[in-house]
Structures are given as C-alpha cells and as structure tokens.
Structure 1
Amino acid sequence: MPVRYYDWIAHHARRTPAKTAVVDLGSNRRFTYAELDARVARLAGHLREAVGVSTGDRVAVLALNSTDTLEVQFACFRLGVIFVPLNSRLTVPELQFIVGDAAPKLMIHDDDLAETALAVSRLCSIADTLRYGPGGSYEQAIASATPLKTVEPVTLDDVSTIMYTSGTTGRPKGAMITHGMTFFNCVNLGGPAYITPSSVLLTVLPLFHTGGLNCYTNPVLHAGGTVLIMRSFDPGAALRLISDPAQGINVFFGVPSIYQFMAQHPSFETADFSRLVIGGVGGAPMPIPLLATWEARGVALQQGYGMTETSPAVLALDREDASRKAGSAGKPVLHTEVRIVRPDGSDAEVGELGELWVKGPNVTPGYWNRPDANASSFTDGWLHTGDATRVDEEGFYYIVDRWKDMYISGGENVYPAEVENVLHQIGAVAEAAVIGIPDPQWGETGLAIIAVKPGGNLSEAEIHAHCAANLARFKCPRLIRFVDALPRNATGKIHKPTLRQTFSAASATDLVQKAS
C-alpha cells in the first residue's frame, strides 16, 4: 500500500516500527508505530466496508481522552473522510445542534458518554455507532475488519476535520481544518517547541479541542515522537508523571489554569521538572505572577497564541526570550502573516492597540455551512481574530484581551486581562476574573469575581487598595464578588458568559442603588 504524504503513522511504521507511538494512561495500553498503523488500517477498512463511508462523509467522536480517538483521526485521513471531535461537556440539546449541522454518518463514543451519544444519535438519525472499551463494538470492528488496501488520494486543500467553536457569542461554528493546515501547524510549532523524534509529550487537554489535538499531539506524532494521553487532567497525577524518569516526559502544554492548578498542588515544590525541554502555554492571557512561580522552579513557560481557525499556531515565544519577554505571545511562526489593524482597516503603529489579523496556509478556508460567518470574518483573505493586540519595537506581540471582553468606563477602554493580572499579584488570590457591567455614572465599570486560596483571607478593602496602587482609577473594579471557584469551559478557560449571566444584572442593580 502506498504511503500518502499526509499519513505520518504509516511513514513511521516503516521507519521505526518498534518505537512506542502512543500510551493510553487511562487503560494502560501502549502501541508501537507498527501496531498503531495496523489498528488504523483495520479501522479504516471497517469504516469503508461495514459502515460505507466515502470521501467527504463525516465521522463524529464523543469521548474522554483516549488513543482510540487518534486512531479515528488517522483512519479518517486515509479515507478522505472528515473527522468531527465533539465537546464532551456539552448537553444533548447543544450537541444536537452541532451533530445536526455536521450530519455525520457514524457516531463513535466511550462508555462514560454512551447515554448522551446515543440520545444525540437518535435525535439526529444516525444509524451507525461504535463504542470504545474492552468488549465494545469498536474493538470488535478492529479485530474482525480487513485492513484498508487503497488509501484515498487527498490534497492539502481538502478538509480533514471540522472543529466546532464554543459558541459563546451565538450558535457554534464549525471551523473547517484542512490537511494543509494540520501539516503547516506541525512545521510552525516544530521549531519553537523543539519537537523531534525524541520528544515525549504528556497530553492533558481534551482531544476535541485544538489545544489537545495540535499542541502538541499531532506535531509530536508527525515527528515520530511518543505521546502519553491522560484521560482527564489531574494536577497531582500530571506532576507525578512529569517527575517520573521512567516516563521520560520532556514536552508539556497547558492553558493558564492547568499551570495554576499544578502550582497550587502540594507536590509542586518537590516535583522534578529537569527533563522538560518545553512547557508551552496558550489559550488565554497568562498572569505574570504565575509565570514567575514556574520560573522559580526552573521552568520558563513559553507563551504562544493561536485559535482553532489558525490550526492553531500564530505566535510563539522562543525559549531564550521566555523570561525577558514574559507576558508576550512571541513573534509570528514560520508560515504565517500577521497584521495589527485599526477599526478603519489601516495598520496600527508600533505600541498602538488594534485587532490582530492573520493570513497564511494555516488559516481555515471558512466555516461549515456558515456563509454569513465567512463573509464577516475575512477581508481579502485575512482572518479577523477578534483579539486586541500590540507589538513592541522589537517585534514581540502582546495579546491584550478579546475585543468583546473590553468595556468602556468613562470613555476609556478597559481590558479585563490587564486588571486580572494585577489581581493575581495578591498572594491570597487563587483565581480572578473581571467583567464589565452597566454603571449609571460611567456607562460601564468593572466587577471582579475572585476565588481565595484555601486557608487564605482577603477583604474587599485590601483588593480595592491594591488596585488603586497599581491601576489608573478608571481601570479599578468598583465591585468585588467572592466565589469558591470560577466557572470554566472544557479546556480550563474561565467562562465569562457564565459570569456575566450570573453576576451582571444583580451587580448593576447594586450600583444603581448606590448612585441613588
């Protein structure tokens, strides 16, 4: 069987067949590249012969992290079929919209999410399903299938994956990911993340998200390295695995909350990070104090920036600059163009805030079934990211905040991420988020929602005093709310739509009463 240029697993099965490709920490299974290649071939054979999928069909997966999901991805690649990973935290109504939009021919799921997957399948009239796990139909299919003999000839421009956005600003959009986007992301991240055949990655982010799948799971497999898949993130287990010399983990990636939870774990101070070549972070602005906490343990976290629609890498900070340029997302990766654009469409000057636009072979061709979103999201091939950004005189980019999270207080723009960074300087603060709420005097003002560290004590007066000493008056939040924990989405990002829904109306009423 010929090896197509997009089939990394078959390539490494020929070159290094006995090398460990993937380890499933949830089931204690491990597969060499030869074994993984054989499983992918049999799964692809089953999908073609038993299910009858053909080029352009969709296959959906609803499961917690498993190496099985990577097999589905690569089987879809061989068939010219589109892989649709589904957010495991969504409800049946939410998934019904997404699955109805993608219209997959097959639903693959695990035991934990079987009830939800089958309910969605019934509602969306999906006749065929496969279940992961010992004795499940997925393993039975692989055991009985004839390996695929003929691989579908696809191009770099063909769609390989549809990855749905969170839908926080409306109904979810399915970003179309091409084979070329995935390839260029492997190339773009390979250098800054020092990914080689010797890389051993611990994947803790969900594989339905671009962070879990592409930072750096696919790039490490593309290079012929080894990937350990954690079923769901546990900070203590992650620290234990990284510290274990037998695992040999030297690559790690997480969103800020992942690093925060690990830093707050009792074993953080004694964990062994000496083998880590790269500790990557992205997905949200990283608090400077948290960067300093990890640097004190000898790990200079390398920040980066990307989004689902850009496959995801856009900016990356080199290891040598991680400390000197803490807070920066770095410079553009190799095969990517960026601009910072004013509201009138002209380019911003150095130091001036504008919206980041991205162009290149790593950018989505558009959204599935959404011509309206395609029309509003692109200008002459440039993708509007929606992120407020500036660049310094050395060419380092800083993601200030989402445009939609900015609020205007007394005519001045306030970016919550800047305020949150100041709040994180307070030692007792475990988590902090700021949202804008209506204010009868200033139009809008800030509301800070704060979770205090266990055993810590913190008063509103202390918070107000700290903000007054470190922020301009218009940036200081007028109201403080304490919570046990902040709501987060499946990747660990703070979910501000939930905070707005929970706190905005009542807090705005408090301000009106104070003003009167």
Structure 2
Amino acid sequence: MPVRYYDWIAHHRRRTPDKVALVDLASARRFTYAQMDARVSRLAGHLRDQLKIASGDRVAVLALNTTDTLEVQFACFRLGAVFVPLNTRLTVPELHYIVGDASPKVMIHDDDLAETALAVAKLCNVASVMRLGPGGSYEAGVAAAKPLDHIEIVMLDDISTIMYTSGTTGQPKGAIITHGMTFWNCVNLGGSACISPSSVLLTVLPLFHTGGLNCYTNPVLHSGGTALIMKTFDPGEALRLISDGAQGINVFFGVPAIYQFMAQHPTFATADFSRLVIGGVGGAPMPVPLLRTWETRGVALQQGYGMTETSPAVMVLDREDAARKAGSSGKPVLHTEVRIVRPDGADADIGELGELWVKGPNITPGYWNRPDANASSFTDGWLHTGDATRMDEEGFYYIVDRWKDMYISGGENVYPAEVESVLHQLAAVAEAAVIRIPNEQWGEVGMAVIAVKPGHTLAPVDIHAHCQANLARFKCPRLIEFVDALPRNATGKIHKPTLRQTFSQPKPTDTAA
C-alpha cells in the first residue's frame, strides 16, 4: 500500500521502524514508529468498518493528554475524516454547543471525563462513543480490527481538524485547520526551532490546543523525533524530567505561565538545562523579568507569536536575539506574510501601532458554520488577528496587546501587557493582570489584580510607587486588588473575562490617592 505524502507516521515506520515515536508518561507506554503505525492503521480500520466513519465525518476526542489522542489524529488523516479535539476544562453546556456545531459521529473519551463526555454525547445524539484506557472499547477496537487496506486521498486544502477557540468573546468558533496548514507549520517551525530526528520533546500543554498539538508535537513527529506526553502539567515533574539525562529531553514549549510556575518551583535553581536545545514560549506576552530569570539559568527562551487560525506559527525570535530584543516576537516565519494596518486600512509606519494582519498557506480558510465570522475576519485573504503590534527599525515585531484589552484613560491608549511587565519587576509579585474599569473622571482606568508570592508581603502603596517611577501617570493602575491566584484557561493563559466579571464593581476604598 503506498504511503501518502501527508502520512508522516507511515513514512517513518518505513525508514526508522524501531525509533521511539511516543511515550505516554502516565501509563509508561512506549511506541516505536512501527508500533504507532500499526495502531493507527487498526484504529482507522475500526472507525471505518465498525463505526462507519467516512471521509468528511467528524471524530471528537475529550481526554486529558494521552498518546491515544495523536493516534486518533493520524487515523482521521488516513480516513479523510476530521479530527475535533475538545477542551477538557469546559462544562457540559459549553461542550453541548461545540459538539452540536461540529456534529461528530463518534466521541472518544477517557475515564477522567467519562461523565461529561457521555452527557454531551447524549445531548448531541452522537452515534458512537469509545472509552480509552485498559479494558475500554478503544483498546478492544484497536486489538480486534484489521489494518486499514485503503488510505483516502486528500489534498492540502482539505479539512483535517476543527479546533474551537476559547469563546471568551461570545460563542466559540471552530477554526478550520487544513492538511496544508499543519504541514506548513511543521516547515515554518521546524527550522527556527531546530526540530530534527534527534529532537526529544516534552509535551505539557493540552493536545486539544494548538500549542500542545503543534508546538512542537506535530513538527517533532513530522521530523521523526520523539514526543513524551505528560497527562497534566506538573512544574516539579517537568523540571525533573528535563534534568534527567536518561530521558534525553532537548525540546520544550510552554506559555508564559508554564515558565513562571517552573521558575517558582524549589528545584528550579538546581535543575539541569544543559541538554535543552530549544525552549519555546508563546501564547501570551512574556514578561521581560521572567525572560531574565531563565537567562540566569542559561536558557535563552525563543519567543514566538501565533494563533489557532495560523497553524499557529507566524513569528519567531531567534535565540541569538533573545536578550537583545527581549519582548519582541521576532520576525515572520518563512512561508507567511504580515502587515501592520492602521484603522483606515493603510500600512502603519515603523514604530507606529496598528493591527497585525497575516496571510499565507498556514492561514485558516475560515470558521466552521460561521459565514458571519468569515466576512468580518478577512480582507482580500488577510486574516485580522486583533493584536496591536508595532515594528522597529530592524524589522522586529512587538505584540503590544490585544486590541480588545486596550483601554483609553483620559484620551490616552493604555496597553495592559506593558503595565503587567512593569508589575512583574516587583520581586513579591507571583502573578499580575491589568483590566479596565469604568471611571467617571477618566472614562476608564486600570485595575491591577495581583497574587503575591508565598512568604512575601506587598502593600498597595509599594505598587503605586513602583508604577509611578516606571510608567507615565495615565498608565499607572488606579486600583489594586489582591487574590490568591489568577483565573486561567486550560492552556494557562490568564482569563481576563473572569477578572472583569469579578471586579466590575470596585470598592471605592481601592482607589489610589
């Protein structure tokens, strides 16, 4: 049977059959490329022959990180079916909307999320369910099935995945991911992140998110490397695994919160990062003080920028520029075009803020069942990212903040990410977020919501003094709130809608003098 050009697992089974492809850390299972290829083939056979999954049908997965999720992805590729990974943090009502929108024919779930998965499957009339784990119908189906005898022919523009956005500004949108988008992301990230057959990746971000799936799990598998899959992120365990020479981990990726939690762990100071070829970071603005903390341990984190809709790679900052251009997202990856656009549609000047637009073969063709979103999100093939961006004289790009997070105080634009970076300079600050609050005098003012490190103390007067010494007065947060921990979504990003809802009515006594 021929190997299709998009079937990386079959390719590496033929070239390096005994190379370890995947390690499931929770179950201690290890699969070579030959073993993974065989399981994917039998799973595809079971989906087609027993569950009647055909080209274009959707297959949903609701599970904590497991190598099984990757098997489902590649089985869908071979069938021409559409892989739909589901956010494990969502409630039944939230998933009811998403699953109803995607209309999958099968729901694959683990034991941890069985109750939620079965409830949603019933509400949405999903025809079949499969349970992962020992004794589950998934393993029974794989064991009993015959290998797939025919691989569906698909093209790069065909849909491979529907990945739903977080839905923080309304109902979630299903970003359409094509086979071409996934391929071009492997190409775009492969070179800049030094991905090769010798890469050994520790995957800690959830596989339902583009960060977990494509930074850098799919690129590593595309190159013939090895991916170790962690069920749920544990900072101490991640540091132990990276330090353990026997594991051979030399590639890592996380959102800023991942690096923050690791830096605050007691074993960070003695962890061994000497084998780490690349430590990538993206998904949210990276506080410069946190970058400096990792630099002191000899790790120049490679910053990047991307979105679910962009595969996700758009820009990468080379390690050589990490210190010199701290805070920058770098320059565009090879096969992507970018523009910074003013509100009137003209290109912004160097140093001028505008909205980032992107275009290329790694960009989504649109959203599932959302012609309204498609109409408002694209102009002549350019995707509007919604991110406020500027470029310096050397061509380095800086993602200042989300347009929707920017607020206007006394007629001046304030970008919370800039203020948050200054707050992180305070040694006692564990986490910080700035949100807008309505104000009769200034229109809007900033509120800083701060979690203090254990064993430290911090008073509002200290925060106000620090901000006034480092920021223009209109940028300084007028209000301060202390919390034990900031709310986060499943990928570790601070969830500002929750903060805005919680603190929409500030106490008068919180106002700075």
TM-score, normalization by structure 2: 0.99
1:241-290 CA-partner distances (Å, limit 9, x unpaired) = 00000000000000000000000000000000000000000000000000
2:373, 2:169 → 1: CA distance?
12
Q: CA deviation at 1:510?
A: 5.8
Give the match for residue 205 of structure 1: 205
1:314-369 CA-partner distances (Å, limit 9, x unpaired) = 00011111111111000000000000000000000000000000000000000000
Give the match for residue 76 of structure 2: 76
Mapped pair 1:223 → 2:223: yes
Q: Contact 2:478–2:512 (CA<8 Å) still a contact in 1? A: no
1:465, 1:251 → 2: CA distance?
40
Q: CA deviation at 1:505?
A: 2.1
Q: How does 1:242-391 map to 2 (within 5 A)?
A: 242-391=242-391
Give the secondary-structure state (helix, strand or coil) at the position aligned to 1:51. Answer: coil
Supply the RMSD in Å over aligned alpha carbons: 1.0
Q: Contact 1:132–1:139 (CA<8 Å) still a contact in 2? A: yes
1:465, 1:458 → 2: CA distance?
12
Give the secondary-structure state (helix, strand or coil) at the position aligned to 1:111. Answer: coil
1:83-125 CA-partner distances (Å, limit 9, x unpaired) = 0000000000000000000000000000000000000000000
Q: Contact 2:479–2:512 (CA<8 Å) still a contact in 1? A: no
AA at the equivalent of 1:127: A
Q: Contact 2:96–2:123 (CA<8 Å) still a contact in 1? A: yes
Q: How does 1:401-416 map to 2 (within 5 A)?
A: 401-416=401-416
Residue segments in structure 1 that go unaligned for 5+ positions in a row:
none
Give the match for residue 183 of structure 1: 183
1:349-398 CA-partner distances (Å, limit 9, x unpaired) = 00000000000000000000000000000000000000000000100000
AA at the equivalent of 1:113: L
1:302, 1:53 → 2: CA distance?
40
Give the match for residue 445 of structure 1: 445
1:467-506 CA-partner distances (Å, limit 9, x unpaired) = 0000000000001000000000000000000000000223
Residue segments in structure 2 that go unaligned for 5+ positions in a row:
none
Mapped pair 1:232 → 2:232: yes
Give the match for residue 109 of structure 2: 109
Give the match for residue 496 of structure 2: 496
Give the match for residue 118 of structure 1: 118
Give the secondary-structure state (helix, strand or coil) at the position aligned to 1:78. Answer: helix
2:453, 2:408 → 1: CA distance?
30
2:325, 2:132 → 1: CA distance?
44
Point out 4+ residue stretches in structure 1 off by more than 6 angstroms. none
Give the match for residue 425 of structure 1: 425
1:281, 1:318 → 2: CA distance?
12
Give the match for residue 27 of structure 1: 27
> Structure 1 residues 514, 237: CA separation in 2 closer, same or farther (over 3 Å shift)?
closer
Give the secondary-structure state (helix, strand or coil) at the position aligned to 2:400. Answer: strand
Q: CA deviation at 1:458?
A: 0.4
AA at the equivalent of 1:304: G
Give the secondary-structure state (helix, strand or coil) at the position aligned to 1:368. Answer: coil
Q: CA deviation at 1:514?
A: 9.3
2:405, 2:493 → 1: CA distance?
14
1:506, 1:125 → 2: CA distance?
44
1:373, 1:389 → 2: CA distance?
22
Q: Contact 1:348–1:354 (CA<8 Å) still a contact in 2? A: yes
Which stretch of the first structure deviates more once superposed, 498-507 or 123-132?
498-507
Give the secondary-structure state (helix, strand or coil) at the position aligned to 2:192. Answer: coil
2:5, 2:295 → 1: CA distance?
40
1:174, 1:510 → 2: CA distance?
43
Paired residues, number? 513
Give the match for residue 6 of structure 1: 6
2:232, 2:176 → 1: CA distance?
26
1:514, 1:309 → 2: CA distance?
40
**Identity over aligned pairs, percent:** 81
1:425, 1:14 → 2: CA distance?
52
Give the secondary-structure state (helix, strand or coil) at the position aligned to 1:191. Answer: helix
AA at the equivalent of 2:57: D
Mapped pair 1:96 → 2:96: yes
Give the match for residue 131 of structure 2: 131
Give the secondary-structure state (helix, strand or coil) at the position aligned to 2:152. Answer: coil
Give the match for residue 474 of structure 1: 474
1:290-324 CA-partner distances (Å, limit 9, x unpaired) = 00000000000010000000000000011111111
AA at the equivalent of 1:412: E
Give the match for residue 63 of structure 1: 63
Q: Contact 1:200–1:228 (CA<8 Å) still a contact in 2? A: yes
> Structure 1 residues 132, 170: CA separation in 2 closer, same or farther (over 3 Å shift)?
same
Give the match for residue 162 of structure 2: 162
Q: Contact 1:192–1:319 (CA<8 Å) still a contact in 2? A: no
Give the secondary-structure state (helix, strand or coil) at the position aligned to 1:152. Answer: coil
Q: Contact 2:435–2:446 (CA<8 Å) still a contact in 1? A: yes
Q: How does 1:454-465 map to 2 (within 5 A)?
A: 454-465=454-465
Q: Contact 1:43–1:75 (CA<8 Å) still a contact in 2? A: yes
Give the secondary-structure state (helix, strand or coil) at the position aligned to 2:506. Answer: helix
Q: Contact 1:353–1:388 (CA<8 Å) still a contact in 2? A: yes
